[in-house]
Amino acid sequence: MSYKNLFLKKLNFATLLFSILTLSASTALFAQYVDPPAAPKIVGEAVDPTSDVKPEVAPADPGMQIPVDGSSLEAFEASLAKIKESATEANYITLDGAIDYLLVYDIGAGRDKAKLAKNLDGKTGEQILNEVDWRNKR
């Protein structure tokens, strides 16, 4: 192996190492400015966060009792449209935020809405909100 080839290999290795270190440093610097989105709040009466009592969705909202159909992405969107028609605006906005939250943070969904729809198949809007509430308790 000639000195020229050896020099080029070392130069390529140094460039690669520098790129990795620069990328990890910039990622760490950027991460301090990005906060994960807050979990959606459940509409209902205020509850002391230290108590074991869970807040409930307004009981007079039949739209939150409609199960979502996760058999396909189209069926999922259609069932969300039915919920939107029947639920109060505040509860639907909360549900929509919970679904967006799960789309990002549900590891099983992997940011794939079709997979998330299958994971949520058969669950009511209220159950989806309770799932998000449960996942945020530390």
pLDDT at 64 over 50: yes
What's the Cα-to-Cα distance from 58 to each of 5, 82, 89, 126, rounded to whole Å? 72, 18, 12, 9
The number of helices, as runs of H, and strands, as runs of E, in the chain is 5, 0
pLDDT value of position 74: 95
pLDDT at 136 over 60: no
pLDDT value of position 46: 47
- As given in the structure block, the two tokens for residue 127 are 């159950």
Task: Give the tens place of pLDDT for each residue, 51-61.
Answer: 555 555 445 68
What is the sign of the dihedral through the CA atoms of 83, 86, 89 and 91? Answer: negative
Cα separation, 95 vs 133, in Å, equals 11
Task: Give the tens place of pLDDT for each residue, 30-39.
Answer: 555 555 555 5
Q: What percent of the chain has pLDDT over 70?
A: 53
